[in-house]
Amino acid sequence: MDKKTFYVTTPIYYPSDKLHIGHSYCTVAADTLAKYKRLRGYDVRFMTGSDEHGQKIERIATSLGITPKEYVDKVVAGIKDLWASLDITYDKFIRTTDEDHVAAVQKIFKTLYDKGDIYKSEYEGWYCTPCESFFTEHQLVDGKCPDCGRDVERVKEESYFFRLSKYQDRLIKYIEDHPEFIQPPSRQTEMIANFLKPGLEDLCVSRTSFSWGIPVTFDPKHVIYVWVDALSNYITALGYGSDNDELFKKYWPADVHIVGKEIVRFHSIIWPAMLMALDLPLPKQIFGHGWLVIDGGKMSKSKGNVVDPKVLIDRYGLDAVRYFLLREIAFGQDGNFTNEALIQRINSDLANDLGNLVSRTVGMIDKYFGGQLPAEHAETEFDADLKSVAADTIVKFEECMDKMLFSDALSALWVLIRRTNKYIDETQPWVLAKNEEDMPKLAGALYNVAESIRIVSIMLQPFMPKCPKAIHKQLNIEGTDLTDWENIRIWGLLPKDLKVEKGPALFPRIDMKKELVELEAAIKAAQAENLANKAKHEAEEEKEEEKASEITIDDFDKVHLVTGEVIASESVKGSKKLLKNTVKVGNEVRTILSGIAKYYTPEEMVGKKVVIVENLAPRKMMGEMSCGMILCAADKDGNLSLITDDKQFESGCDVR
Ligand code: MSP
C-alpha cells in the first residue's frame, strides 16, 4: 500500500542577512515535524529555500559592487551551511533563481494574464523595500512601514495588477468554512478583521523601476513582484509548470506551510487567491508561529541584537539548541530569548532530568551486574504506574505533535522522564543491591528504567538528532527496530539480559555564573562583527543611493537649455533681490526674473549672452510672471556669476 504523503514547507529565506536564531526557529520547527512524520511512516516532502529576487537584494548587491547573482550565490551557501549544522533534513532547497522555477513563474503569470486575472495599469503608492510590500497612504504608521517601522518609498510606475479584490468573498467563505486553514485561531481572526473585511484592493504584481526579478515574458521591461515569484515556489518546487509534474501530483496540496506571523497575510490571502485563480487546491493549513524576541522586541540585524545560532551550537551542541527553541516557546506565541533561560533549561531538563537518568541507569547496570542484566527479573510494586505513565505519555505526545504543540509534547515527555527518575528513587536499587535475594527485583527495576529510556528516546528523535542515537548506543540497540515508532507501545522489547555500554555524559552540567559571562561575551563578539559588516554595508548603500539620485541622459534631455540675449533689465518694485530681464531667445522675447540684483546692475545685464532653462513652468514672483530661468554659477558664499556664451553666438542656440 502507498504511504500517506505529508508536504511541509518553511518560508524561503531572503539571502539579505546573516540568518539568526529567530530564522532558525521556523526551520527547526518544520524539520522536527518532518522528522516526526517520517517516523510515523509518512512519505514526507520537506521544502525550504531562498527568495533571491527583488529590489532589496539588487540594492545590496549593487552596494557591494557585485551582480545580484554573485551576491546571492555567496549568501545562499551560508544559509545551506547553517541548515546543515542544525541538521535540517529538507528534501529540496529551492532557489528562486533556479531556471525551472523562473520558467514556471513566467507561465503562471501568463496564465493569469490570459485569464484576465492580471491586467495592466499604473501603481502609485508606497513601497517598503526591506519587507518588499506595497502600502497605501492610510496603511502607513507615522509615515513608516506598518510591519517593520522603517522608511517607505514613493513609487509611481506602470504595473500589472492581480485582481485580488475579485477573490475576497470566496476567501472569506473558504476561511470561515475551514477553521483549520489558518492556525493558530487568533491569526484567522486577525486576517478576517484586519484585511479581508475592510476590503481587498487589487495587488500590484510587477515593477519597472529595477530589473532584478523574473521578467514578464510578454512585456520584459516588467519584472514579476517578488512575493508572487516567492509564493509560487511551493508548487514550482514540485515541478508545477514544468514537463514533469509527478511530484506536484503526488504532494500537492501542502499539508502545512509554516511561516512567521508577519507573513501570514501573504500566505493566507494572496497565495490562496493566486491558487484559486489557477484553479488549484489550497494548502490544508497555514501555521503562523510567533517571534523569538529579545527584551520585548523582535530580534533583528538592524537592531544589532541578533543571536548567532552557531555560537550556541558550538557551546552547547545542536540538540540543546533545538530542544530549547521548541520547549521554551509555545509554538504560535512570541517567546523571549534569554541566556539564563537557555542555560537553565540545559541544566535542569537536559543535564539533570534526562542526562542523569541515562547515566545513572547505565552506571548501575555496570556497577551491580558488570554491564549486563541477568535474565531473571522480578516485579516491584511501582512497575504498573511507570508503565501506565509511559502509555499515557505516548498518547499525549502524539496528540500534541499532530497539532504542532511542540512545547506541550516535550513537557509531556518530561513527565515520563521525571516519573522514571522517581521510579529509581522508589525502587532504591542501591538498597536492593545489598541482598542477594533481591537481585531479580534489582534486575527487573533496572530493566524497566532502561525500557522507559528506550521509549523516551524514540519520542526524542524528531527533536534531537544526536542524543537518541547516543542512548541507543549505550543500550546496544542502535540501528535495530527497537527504536521504531511501531515498537514504542510494546513494553518489554529490550532483551532481558540487556547489555549496556557506558558513554560520555549526554549533557554536561554548566556552571551558570561563569557561563553567563562567557556566553554574553561570545554573543557580543558575533554581534560586533555583524554590526561592523552592517556599517560597512550601509556606507556602501548610502553611496549607492547617492548614485541612484544621479539622472540619466533621458532625464537630462527633459531640460531644454538655450542661449538668450538680455535686451532690457530693470529692478523689481519692492524687491532688493530681483531683476526683471527681457530676454531675446531666437525670434522670441520673454520675461525672466532673476535673483541677481546684488551682483549685477540692470545696466550690466543688458547685452549679456546668458544660458536659460527654456521649458521651466512659468511662475509669478512679486506680482510679475517669470518664464524660464537664467543660469548662474554660485560660489561657496552664494555669490552669483552669470553663465555666458563664450563665443557670443546668436541667441536661441541649444546648450548641451
Ligand atoms: N522571503 C520571505 C518569505 C517568502 S515565503 C514565500 C521572508 N523571508 S525572511 O528571511 O525575512 O524570513 C523568513 C522567516 O523567518 C519568516 O517566517 C520570519 O517570520 C522568520 N523570522 C525572522 N525573524 C524571526 C524571529 N526573530 N523569530 C521567529 N521567526 C523569525 O519573509
Give the pLDDT confidence of 21-30 residue by residue, as tens digits: 999 999 999 9
Measured between alpha carbons, how far is 560 from 366 in angstroms, rounded to an integer?
95
In a shared domain, residues 88 and 37 = yes
Side chain identity at 302, as an amino acid letter?
Answer: S
Of all protein residues, whose CA lies closest to atom 13 belonging to ligand 1?
13
CA of 61 to the centre of ligand 1 (A): 20
Mutate to test the pocket of ligand 1, among 10, 13, 47, 148 (most ligand atoms within 8 A of CB): 13
Residue 180, domain member (yes or no): no
The larger pLDDT score, comparing residue 542 to residue 75, is at 75
CA of 418 to the centre of ligand 1 (A): 36
In a shared domain, residues 352 and 475 = yes
In a shared domain, residues 5 and 89 = yes
Helix, coil or strand: residue 654? strand
Q: Which of 309, 337, 365 is the last residue of a domain?
A: 337
CA distances (Å), origin 511, targets 99, 163, 336: 51, 59, 22
In a shared domain, residues 350 and 481 = yes
| Mean pLDDT score, 320-340 | 94
Of all protein residues, whose CA lies closest to atom 21 belonging to ligand 1?
23
Nearest of 366, 370, 345 to residue 355 by alpha carbon: 345
Q: Which of 313, 337, 361 is the last residue of a domain?
A: 337
Measured between alpha carbons, how far is 557 from 553 in angstroms, rounded to an integer?
6
Of all protein residues, whose CA lies closest to atom 28 belonging to ligand 1?
291
| Mean pLDDT score, 225-251 | 97
By residue count, the chain amounts to 656
The larger pLDDT score, comparing residue 577 to residue 206, is at 206
Helix, coil or strand: residue 620? strand
**Least confident among 243-257, 344-358, 585-599:** 585-599
Helices (H), 329-379: 339-345, 356-369
The larger pLDDT score, comparing residue 394 to residue 149, is at 394
**Helices 55-64 and 512-548, axial angle in degrees (round to 10):** 90
Q: What is the CA radius of gyration of the chain?
A: 35
Measured between alpha carbons, how far is 227 from 259 in angstroms, rounded to an integer?
14
Measured between alpha carbons, how far is 581 from 569 in angstroms, rounded to an integer?
4
Apex 403 CA angle, 398 and 406, nearest 5? 75
Tally of structural domains, the chain: 3
CA of 641 to the centre of ligand 1 (A): 56
Helix, coil or strand: residue 66? coil
CA of 424 to the centre of ligand 1 (A): 45
In a shared domain, residues 15 and 56 = yes
Band (pLDDT 50/70/90 cuts) for residue 545 is low
CA of 534 to the centre of ligand 1 (A): 19
Asked whether 263 lines ligand 1 (CB < 6 A), one says yes
CATH number at residue 570: 2.40.50.140
Residue 503, domain member (yes or no): no
Mutate to test the pocket of ligand 1, among 23, 52, 326 (most ligand atoms within 8 A of CB): 23
Give the pLDDT confidence of 344-381 residue by residue, as tens digits: 999 999 999 999 999 999 999 999 999 999 999 999 99
CA of 23 to the centre of ligand 1 (A): 6
The larger pLDDT score, comparing residue 162 to residue 296, is at 162
Band (pLDDT 50/70/90 cuts) for residue 302 is low
In a shared domain, residues 332 and 419 = no
Asked whether 25 lines ligand 1 (CB < 6 A), one says yes
Q: All 3 cell numbers of residue 231?
A: 509564493
Measured between alpha carbons, how far is 412 from 398 in angstroms, rounded to an integer?
10
Asked whether 13 lines ligand 1 (CB < 6 A), one says yes
CA of 53 to the centre of ligand 1 (A): 15
What is the pLDDT at residue 537?
Answer: 63
Residue 220, domain member (yes or no): no
CA of 19 to the centre of ligand 1 (A): 9
* DSSP single-letter state for residue 195: I
CATH number at residue 353: 1.10.730.10
Asked whether 52 lines ligand 1 (CB < 6 A), one says no
- φ, ψ of residue 571 to 5 degrees: the values are -70, 160
What is the pLDDT at residue 41?
Answer: 96
Residue 228, domain member (yes or no): no
* pTM, two decimal places: 0.82
Band (pLDDT 50/70/90 cuts) for residue 70 is very high
Of all protein residues, whose CA lies closest to atom 7 belonging to ligand 1?
13
Measured between alpha carbons, how far is 421 from 426 in angstroms, rounded to an integer?
9
Side chain identity at 590, as an amino acid letter?
Answer: R
In a shared domain, residues 632 and 560 = yes
Question: Strand 256-260 vs strand 619-621: parallel, antiparallel, or unpaired?
Answer: unpaired
What is the pLDDT at residue 306?
Answer: 85
CA distances (Å), origin 68, targets 53, 54, 327, 361, 538: 8, 10, 38, 56, 17
In a shared domain, residues 325 and 353 = no
Asked whether 225 lines ligand 1 (CB < 6 A), one says no
Band (pLDDT 50/70/90 cuts) for residue 44 is very high
Give the pLDDT confidence of 420-476 residue by residue, as tens digits: 999 999 999 999 999 999 999 999 999 999 999 999 999 999 999 999 999 999 999
In a shared domain, residues 565 and 618 = yes
Mutate to test the pocket of ligand 1, among 8, 26, 261 (most ligand atoms within 8 A of CB): 26
Asked whether 460 lines ligand 1 (CB < 6 A), one says no
Q: Which domain holds residue 20?
A: 1-95+290-337
**Least confident among 7-21, 463-477, 524-538:** 524-538
Helix, coil or strand: residue 213? coil
Residue 462, domain member (yes or no): yes
In a shared domain, residues 307 and 407 = no
What is the pLDDT at residue 624?
Answer: 81
Asked whether 231 lines ligand 1 (CB < 6 A), one says yes
In a shared domain, residues 351 and 406 = yes
Of all protein residues, whose CA lies closest to atom 8 belonging to ligand 1?
13
Residue 437, domain member (yes or no): yes
Q: Give every CB contact of residue 42 below 8 A, 6+ residues apart in sequence.
A: 3, 4, 5, 6
CATH number at residue 77: 3.40.50.620
Of all protein residues, whose CA lies closest to atom 16 belonging to ligand 1?
260
Of all protein residues, whose CA lies closest to atom 10 belonging to ligand 1?
13
Asked whether 286 lines ligand 1 (CB < 6 A), one says no
Helix, coil or strand: residue 366? helix
Of all protein residues, whose CA lies closest to atom 15 belonging to ligand 1?
23
Task: State yes or no: cis peptide before 184, omega within 30 of 0.
Answer: yes
Asked whether 258 lines ligand 1 (CB < 6 A), one says no
Nearest-atom index, ligand 1, CA of 293:
26
CA of 14 to the centre of ligand 1 (A): 8
Nearest of 655, 649, 652, 630 to residue 641 by alpha carbon: 630
Nearest of 393, 493, 504 to residue 448 by alpha carbon: 493
Q: Which of 470, 487, 504 is the last residue of a domain?
A: 487
Residue 160, domain member (yes or no): no
CA of 310 to the centre of ligand 1 (A): 18
CA of 559 to the centre of ligand 1 (A): 45
| Mean pLDDT score, 223-252 | 97
pLDDT at 116 over 80: yes
Percent with pLDDT over 90 in the chain: 78
Residue 241, domain member (yes or no): no
In a shared domain, residues 304 and 403 = no
pLDDT at 539 over 80: no
What is the pLDDT at residue 299?
Answer: 76
Measured between alpha carbons, how far is 130 from 16 in angstroms, rounded to an integer?
9
pLDDT at 549 over 70: no
Measured between alpha carbons, how far is 478 from 468 in angstroms, rounded to an integer?
9
Asked whether 580 lines ligand 1 (CB < 6 A), one says no
